[in-house]
């Protein structure tokens, strides 16, 4: 290991993981990383890891895909950045490509910013100006970002200790098919019944100034929760009935990850505003919001303003276009379905052998594996999860564990859509071994799962 830089990391960086467990184990600065290509990330010692989180769920076409490298070179020849009032031609081209080939329904006007948090700030700002309201309904287990507005509607976020959140946010219980809120009832019926109750509560509580319902079509950070179509259709109806806009945050679900162009297309429910980010940049920072011409015309008439240093930057747009082109050329949406099916079948087989795998779920290559200490009670395996995750990493596989006390211990598995059969086989073998070794270790020390 390059000790000098590791020491520099410990001395000079702010720790932001918020996770004492991993910090105790040497933490995020123990190993520094050097490079990434395709599915493989390499540390400073030359050790390779299979990256089954695609970076931060972003590198869908594989790390440092030649098309992205070429796009950055091209931007270097043309322009990386311009005055925010100058629209680069590549930005117009990206907006046209999105409207023509990727977005459902009437979504046709886009704007480009830098991150997912920011695209949700932008989406909420549009909804507020359009409706004249400010109240927002958000799903339990949601993650929309860290900035004030996006953080306020992120129920999953660390909410304690950071002051007063934005006013007007109410929560809708999410449609969890594995842990339905109403026990003993069909999970879909439970989700719809609880939604109806939540809306009744909101209708009593509202100041009459609703602006939006915001939802991830599949809750990713919340534990890869795939709702039934009826739930998203009910959100659409709820928004319409209250004069609120429906925002889909498709940071992860758009552009192939779930085996469809968008979550909206997969579920057949079209929002008024779509927020896009991670999977559009394939690992480089870009955020976008798309909406209808009617909404855009209206807010423009009301002097809509959202001006940042990096709005409409040509570098990000060049990369976004390259990502969309690569998805088509390499038929990666089809591939997400094909490889997702392959991986899911193998995880199902693992579930047959490991009682601690309570549930395997997902769409395309966005997969959740829920670890429980007891299948009947579904008690989350909060010790096993992080231990097995560490063992996976030590064996060369990066997967993400969601282990908020109230949300279970869920592995989020999301390799690049370019992942090979062989890489999936290797990952499955590592997961298998890590689970078995962790169970042995916990049994030896008589520790609860």
Closest CB to ligand PMP among 150 and 356? 150
Of 51, 174, 249, 272, the catalytic one is: 249
Reference 322, options 280, 289, 260, 261; nearest CA is 280
Shortest distance in whole angstroms from residue 23 CB to ligand PMP? 20
Please tell me whether residue 51 binds ligand PMP under the rule CB under 6 A.
Answer: no
- CB closer to ligand PMP, 221 vs 283: 221
Asked whether the CA dihedral 311, 313, 316, 322 is positive or negative, the reply is positive
Return the number of the residue (59 or 372) whose C-beta is nearest ligand PMP. Answer: 59
Backbone angles phi, psi at 284, to 5 degrees: -100, 150
Query: Which member of 135, 249, 272, 370 binds ligand PMP (CB under 6 A)?
Result: 249
Stretch that binds ligand PMP, among 85-93, 110-118, 125-133, 422-430 (CB under 6 A): 110-118
Residue 246 belongs to what H/E stretch?
strand 245-249
Q: What are the structure tokens assigned to 443, written together? A: 């049994």
Is beta strand 33-37 parallel, antiparallel or unpaired with respect to 400-402?
A: unpaired
* Closest to ligand PMP by CB, 120 or 326: 120
Rounded CA-CA distance 361/411 in Å is 10
> Is 257 among the residues that bind ligand PMP (CB under 6 A)?
no
Instruction: In angstroms, give the least distance from the CB of 353 to ligand PMP.
Output: 31
Distance between CA atoms of residues 102 and 190, nearest Å: 33
Q: Is 318 in the site for ligand PMP (CB under 6 A)?
A: no
User: Does residue number 151 form part of the binding site for ligand PMP (CB under 6 A)?
Assistant: no
- 240 as an active site residue: the answer is no
User: How does strand 400-402 pair with strand 409-413?
Assistant: antiparallel
Of 33-41, 143-151, 175-183, 414-422, which segment contacts ligand PMP by CB under 6 A?
Answer: 143-151
Nearer Cβ to ligand PMP (141/358): 141
Query: Least Å distance between CB 270 and ligand PMP?
Result: 18
Question: Which strand (E) or helix (H) includes residue 432?
Answer: helix 421-444
The answer to whether 249 is a known catalytic residue is yes
Q: Looking at 135, 252, 318, 391, which residue is catalytic?
A: 252
117 part of the interface to ligand PMP, by CB under 6 A: yes
Give, in order, the Cα–Cα distances in Å from 170 to each of 206, 295, 390. 9, 24, 36
Given the residues 109, 179, 278, 391, select the one marked as catalytic. Answer: 278
**Terminal-residue alpha carbon distance, the chain:** 33
* Region 53-72 residues binding ligand PMP, contact defined as CB under 6 A: none
Q: Judge whether 40 and 62 are in contact, CB under 8 Å.
A: no
Among 104, 133, 140, 145, binds ligand PMP (CB under 6 A): 145
Task: For the chain, state the CA radius of gyration.
Answer: 22
Could you say which of 39, 97, 252, 438 contacts ligand PMP (CB under 6 A)?
252
Q: How far is CA 162 from CA 39, 141, 146, 151, 389, in A?
A: 36, 19, 11, 10, 29
Least separation in angstroms between residue 276's CB and ligand PMP is 10
Positions marked catalytic? 143, 216, 249, 252, 278, 412
Residues near ligand PMP, by CB under 6 A: 115-117, 120, 143-145, 216, 220-221, 249, 251-252, 277
């Amino acid at each position: 290991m390059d000790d000098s830089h590791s020491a520099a990391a410990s001395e000079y960086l702010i720790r932001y993981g918020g996770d004492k467990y991993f910090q105790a184990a040497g933490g995020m600065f123990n190993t520094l990383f050097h490079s990434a290509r395709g599915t493989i990330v390499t540390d400073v010692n030359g050790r390779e890891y299979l990256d089954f989180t695609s970076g931060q769920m972003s590198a869908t076409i594989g790390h440092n895909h030649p098309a992205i490298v070429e796009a950055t070179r091209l931007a270097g020849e043309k322009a990386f950045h311009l005055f925010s009032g100058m629209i680069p031609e590549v930005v117009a081209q990206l907006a046209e490509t999105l409207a023509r080939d990727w977005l459902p329904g009437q979504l046709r006007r886009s704007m480009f910013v830098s991150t997912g948090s920011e695209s949700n700030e932008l989406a909420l700002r549009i909804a507020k100006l359009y409706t004249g309201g400010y109240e927002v309904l958000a799903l339990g287990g949601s993650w929309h970002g860290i900035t004030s507005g996006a953080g306020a509607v992120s129920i999953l976020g660390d909410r304690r200790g950071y002051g007063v959140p934005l006013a007007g946010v109410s929560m809708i219980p999410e449609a969890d098919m594995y842990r339905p809120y109403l026990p003993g009832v069909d999970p879909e019926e439970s989700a719809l019944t609880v939604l109806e109750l939540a809306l009744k509560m909101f209708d009593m509580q509202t100041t009459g100034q609703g602006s939006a319902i915001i939802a991830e079509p599949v809750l990713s950070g919340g534990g890869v929760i795939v709702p039934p179509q009826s739930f998203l259709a009910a959100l659409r109806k709820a928004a319409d009935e209250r004069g609120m806009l429906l925002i889909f945050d498709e940071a992860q679900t758009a552009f192939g990850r779930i085996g469809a162009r968008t979550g909206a297309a997969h579920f057949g429910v079209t929002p008024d505003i779509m927020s896009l980010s991670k999977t559009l940049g394939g690992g480089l920072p870009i955020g976008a919001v798309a909406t209808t011409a009617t909404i855009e015309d209206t807010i423009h008439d009301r002097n809509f303003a959202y001006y940042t240093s990096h709005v409409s930057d040509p570098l990000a747009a060049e990369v976004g276009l390259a990502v969309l082109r690569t998805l088509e050329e390499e038929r990666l949406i089809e591939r997400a379905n094909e490889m997702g099916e392959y991986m899911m079948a193998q995880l199902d087989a693992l579930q047959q052998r490991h009682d601690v795998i309570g549930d395997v779920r997902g769409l395309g290559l966005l997969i959740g594996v829920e670890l429980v200490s007891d299948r009947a009670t579904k008690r989350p395996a909060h010790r096993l999860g992080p231990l097995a995750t560490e063992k996976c990493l030590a064996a060369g596989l990066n997967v993400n564990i969601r282990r908020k006390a109230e949300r279970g211990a869920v592995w989020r598995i999301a390799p690049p859509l370019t992942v090979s059969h062989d890489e999936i086989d290797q990952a499955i073998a590592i997961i298998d071994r890590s689970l078995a070794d962790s169970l042995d270790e916990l049994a030896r020390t008589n520790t609860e799962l």
